A and B are shown apart, each in its own frame.
Chain A
């Protein structure tokens, strides 16, 4: 089973509990699972995150 992630998953993770410097393991896990074709997102989500114009973008 594969999962599609919504923009808020990334935003809430970065801004609340899994800050990129505080919890890098979460972000490494995302990349690993994406490579393993388990976790995906879509272009619209990328656009929404890019518009946020912060470290996440």
Chain B
């Protein structure tokens, strides 16, 4: 049996990186303490399983020392501990796979001869927030009248994603790494990111977050694309980031969803807050969190009252479980973005991409899944 020469510090590194206790891993790998003391070496199979359990790339175990793994995109997160904490394998793997999808899609669009579209990189932070937000609302065909006709704000959220997708932006919404339901993403670590590119812009939204927060995250990441900025973010409607770009994007996002002028005109300060919040959420078809922030922006609330109401609303939203079982094929398409899934399926059946690459990018292994995904999107074979 071939045994792998692995340094103990590499095993240790993998445990720490994954946030797993050695004691807990030792239950699955009883020999782990011996490997760490260099009294025994794992077989290749054992090491492979260990790599899988710690979500570490297999090849890394043969490095002479643990690698530095910086977050590969600009980090705009504002949570106090965000900068100091080592990025989790879940976050890193999510960014990596989205970058791979983006690379693939850029090539695909390039070959099809599509032109860059003007949405990306057409604004600077010097631009007027109200104007930029209005332009974006137009480009996305996501105006107030249109939203007014929708039954609920959840329909509006779906529509919002669809419109961005139609425009050529890959909007990926997932609460897990790839399609692995055991690897849940932590909204405390990040809420989303934007990967700017003139041909293949990507927005990723952490689907483990509340739906109410997701809508704001999407608006915020779209603002980043408008600036042509790639960014990893953790903002929410209540955030008041010090950073110029974050602050600009947050204000554009809020204005895009609920224009301040209209909020001021419609807000009735004499009515009970809860009632107003619900009424305005229905009026704008946005989440109650966004409405709260806008009432505060309109000077309708003191800061203390606002933060208190916000906490209460979050607690309420968290208690409504958002366990959406749903249709597997719809979920898969939403996780990689419909536009992307359609492109990969089409290109593979045309013989332009390999099946193995398609499976890797889409995150599953079964041929029947691939067939049915295509059928569910109207790419019949």
A interface residue numbers (CB < 8 A to B): 6-8, 11-12, 15-16, 48, 51-54, 56
With A12-B351, A16-B351 as given contacts, are A53 and B356 in contact (CB-CB < 8 Å)?
no
Judging by beta carbons under 8 Å apart, are A51 and B356 in contact? no
A26 and B349 alpha carbons, distance in the complex (Å): 20
Residues on A with C-beta less than 8 A from B356 are 6-8, 11, 48
Q: What is the bound-complex CA distance between A12 and B355, given in angstroms?
A: 7
- B276 shortest CB reach to chain A, Å: 54
- Residues of chain B within 8 A (CB-CB) of A15 are 355, 367
- B81 partner residues in chain A, CB cutoff 8 A: none
B183 within 8 A of A: no
Chain B residues closer than 8 Å to A52, beta-carbon distance: 359, 365-367
Contact B366 A53 (CB under 8 A): yes
Q: Which residue of A lies closest to B364 (CB)?
A: A51
Complex Cα spacing A11 to B359, Å: 11
User: Interface readout for B339-354 with A: 1 if CB under 8 Å, 0 if not?
Assistant: 0000000000101001
Within 8 A of A (CB), among B325-381: 349, 351, 354-357, 359, 365-368
Nearest chain A CB to B17's CB is how many angstroms away? 24
Q: Please tell me the size bucket of the interface on B.
A: 10 to 19
Complex Cα distance, B354 from A48, in Å, reads 13
**Once bound together, how far apart are the Cα atoms of A12 and B370, in whole Å?**
13
A-B pair count, CB < 8 Å, reads 34
CA of A8 to CA of B366 in the docked complex: distance in angstroms? 13
> What's the dominant secondary structure at chain A's contact region?
helix
What B residues does A12 contact at CB under 8 A? 351, 354-355
| Cα A53 to Cα B366 with chains together (Å) | 6
Taking the closest CB of chain A, its distance from the CB of B350, in whole angstroms, is 9
Which of B354, B357, B365 is close to A51, meaning CB atoms less than 8 Å apart?
Answer: B365
In the bound complex, residues from chain B placing their C-beta under 8 Å from that of A53 are: 365-368
Closest A residue to B365 by beta carbon equals A51
Cα distance, A7 to B356, chains bound together (Å): 7
Q: What chain A residues lie within 8 Å of B365 (beta carbons)?
A: 48, 51-53
Residues of the B chain whose Cβ atoms lie less than 8 Å from the Cβ of A8: 354-357
The B216-253 residues at the A interface (CB cut-off 8 A) are none
Contacts of B354 in A (CB 8 A): 8, 11-12
22 contacts between A and B (CB under 8 A): A7-B355, A8-B356, A8-B357, A12-B351, A12-B354, A12-B355, A15-B355, A15-B367, A16-B349, A16-B351, A48-B356, A48-B365, A51-B365, A51-B366, A52-B359, A52-B365, A53-B365, A53-B366, A53-B367, A54-B366, A54-B367, A54-B368
Give the distance in Å from the alpha carbon of A54 to the alpha carbon of B349 in the complex.
Answer: 17
Q: A14 — nearest CB in chain B belongs to which residue?
A: B367
B1 to chain A, nearest CB (A): 15
Residues of A within 8 A of B368 (CB): 53-54
CB of A55, distance to nearest CB on chain B (Å): 9
List the 5 shortest-distance A-B pairs measured between CB atoms, nearest first: A51-B365, A54-B367, A11-B355, A8-B354, A8-B356
